[in-house]
Structure formats: C-alpha cells, structure tokens
Amino acid sequence: MIRSCPLPSDALLNRYLASGAYADCYVTEVARRVSHAEFVEAFYTTAVFKLERLILRVFVSRPSTDAQAGQLARGELSSFAAWSVEGRAPNQLLLSDLSGRTRSWLMVAVADNSDFIGTWLYFGSAVVPVRSLKTGQTSLGPVFTALLGFHKLYSRVLLRAAERRLSRKAANNAHVHRDT
C-alpha cells in the first residue's frame, strides 16, 4: 500500500519544505531488506519510468539506459536523463531537474522490530516556487498547480511499480532457493 506521509526528519528534501517549496512524500514497505542502490535502480528501470525516459529522449534529447540507472544507483554517475545529483547520503538520493525547479528524492529505511521486518521505501518531490517579476509574489505557477493531481497519482504509481519489482525479485529468489 502506498500512502502519503510527512518527510522523515533526516530527509534531504526537508530543505525545500523549510524554504516554502511544495514537497510531498510517499512510503511503502517491502518485507525484506532492500539496499538504497537496489531501490534506486528498481525505481528508474520500471516499465512506468521507462515511458518517462522515452519521452525525455524524444522531446528533450536526454536519453538514458538501464545500465546508467544502475550506475546512478551505485553512485557512479552524477547525472541521469534530465536530472543531476544534488545530494547523497548512504540511504538517500536527491536529484534536481534541468530547470532547477523540481527535485526528486528516494530514501530507504530498514525496519527491524516485532511489527515489521523489512524496508520502508520513500519517494518524494519538491517544486521550487518562482517569483513574479510583476508582483514580486512567489508561486508554483499555473502549470504545476494544474498538474498537481496528476503529479500525486503519478508519484504513487512510480513508487508502486518499484515496490512490485522489488517484491517480485524477493519472491523469485525465494522460489529459486526452494528449488535448489
């Protein structure tokens, strides 16, 4: 189940929330340990995200490959498709898009208690407001405001696709181990 939640206190995305930007956070769980690199690679190589990568290749001339997604996940690349790495922590990745207006953030947190043993997968975004030259006021702009509902749905779909990929991988590994 994907649910909206507050940003964890140590989230790299918090700096944007504190500065007045729009920020969101979604979380789900996988009933096994998942490394941050494994989550990032799974996220950027799902069928859903490959469609976004195709759009970026065709309309923005920013091609990317599954191999590059793996390199990004392992910290071997500082840019991927239309994003560049803005921040890293052992369990987090913060990316900035070409325009500098939006951020994407992925984080894992291992849970090991009596209620749940596994990994929490977090995905969030931030949109930096722009200042109007006429009024001096800041806003997210009419385009983002109009697309906010779609953005929230798409964020959930992306996280669900990564969660499914990681859960299937665990099920396939368990099946292989039972057969040997």
The pLDDT-based confidence of 178 (bands split at 50, 70, 90) is very low
Q: Confirm whether pTM is higher than 0.75.
A: yes
> pLDDT tens digit string along 95-140?
999 999 999 999 999 987 767 689 999 999 999 988 878 888 888 8
* Number of domains the chain contains: 1
Domain housing 65: 3-179
The pLDDT-based confidence of 19 (bands split at 50, 70, 90) is confident
The pLDDT-based confidence of 173 (bands split at 50, 70, 90) is low
Sheet holding 79-80, edge to edge: 3-4, 22-30, 117-127, 102-112, 92-97, 83-89, 79-80
Distance of alpha carbon 34 from alpha carbon 65, whole angstroms:
22
Amino acid residing at 158: L
Average pLDDT of the segment spanning 18-23: 90
CATH for 68: 3.30.530
